[in-house]
Amino acid sequence: MQVTQLWRYPVKSIGGEQLESASIDELGIVGDRGWGVFDVATGTVLTARRSPQLLFASARIEDGELIITLPETGDVDERSASAALSRWLGQEVQLRKAGDEGGTYEVPIDFENDANWVSWTGPEGAWHDSKLSRLSLVSTGSLGDWDIRRFRTNIVVDGSGEDDFVGDHVRLGGDGVDGGAELAVCKQIDRCVMVTRPQPGLDRDIELLKQINAERDTFLSIGAIVTRPGEVRVGDSVEHLSVDH
């Protein structure tokens, strides 16, 4: 297997950036989910589950600085982002950098009906939904014709069979013995209403999630924690390792 795509999403639930290379630390790809949009009224981290409009913005990191691009407004920096996002969304929000406290997230119980929601608290550090998924990976075989942006996965690899990695380790890059980054694959990632939300070039698609539920038992892509930080590039090898390698 080889890495075919790398993606970073600097702001949770906002569009991200495709990379040729990335640094990986204990929290995943450096800068990934490093910021979140907080709903001031509820204290939750706002996501496209609750506010699909977020997916029509995008974010990138240039020279270490966060830049958010909003429809019509254009580029805004971190200092002006809270005010600009509040105007655009029509509600008071704050852009917050990840820190020592986890965020509170929400998801509708029924993806076809947004009437009832459940909430949970995620891990500290980057704004990830789960401490067992600091970095996500999917194969081209699993993706098929689906657009990777639907799933906001960090690493795309060629081939198939990534579900077999769960419970084992994966090495990205290196010379087969040393170097590269290493992951412990903890889980399959179950999909929610997020993947159905519209975004630039993609319409709302409830049927997509129905298909994943029927054919893949809700799961698409795998979640991992980082056991050895390192650098990864498009074209790097992906090696499946046993736990006791």
- For 224-240, write each residue's pLDDT tens digit: 999 999 999 999 999 99
Tell me: pLDDT of 176 over 70.
no
- The mean predicted confidence, pLDDT, of the chain is 94
Output the pLDDT for position 80: 97
Question: How is the chain split into domains, by residue range?
Answer: 3-241
Task: Calculate the alpha carbon distances from 126 to 36, 145, 212 in Å.
Answer: 9, 30, 27
Tell me: pLDDT of 164 over 60.
yes
Rounded mean pLDDT of 116-132?
91
49, 192 Cβ separation under 8 angstroms: yes
pLDDT band at 217 (very low <50, low <70, confident <90, very high): very high
Rounded mean pLDDT of 123-131?
91
Q: Which of 109-113, 185-189, 191-195, 208-212 has the lowest mean pLDDT?
A: 109-113
Tell me: pLDDT of 244 over 70.
no
Output the pLDDT for position 18: 98
Backbone angles phi, psi at 79, to 5 degrees: -65, -35
Whole-angstrom Cα distance, residue 121 to residue 53?
23
Burial of 33: CB neighbours in 10 Å, binned 0-12, 13-18, 19+: buried
Tell me the CATH number for domain 3-241: 2.40.33.20
Q: Which of 131, 154, 208 is nearest to 16 (CA)?
A: 154
Strand locations in the chain (E): 3-8, 17-19, 21-25, 28-29, 35-39, 45-46, 58-62, 65-70, 74-77, 93-97, 104-110, 113-121, 135-139, 155-157, 169-172, 181-190, 219-228, 230-233, 238-241
Rounded mean pLDDT of 162-181?
85
Read off the pTM. Answer: 0.93
What are 226's strand-pairing partners?
A: 183
Output the pLDDT for position 216: 94
| SS3 (DSSP) at 196 | helix
Output the pLDDT for position 177: 57
Token look-up 């290493």 returns 182
Whole-angstrom Cα distance, residue 47 to residue 118?
13
Output the pLDDT for position 113: 83
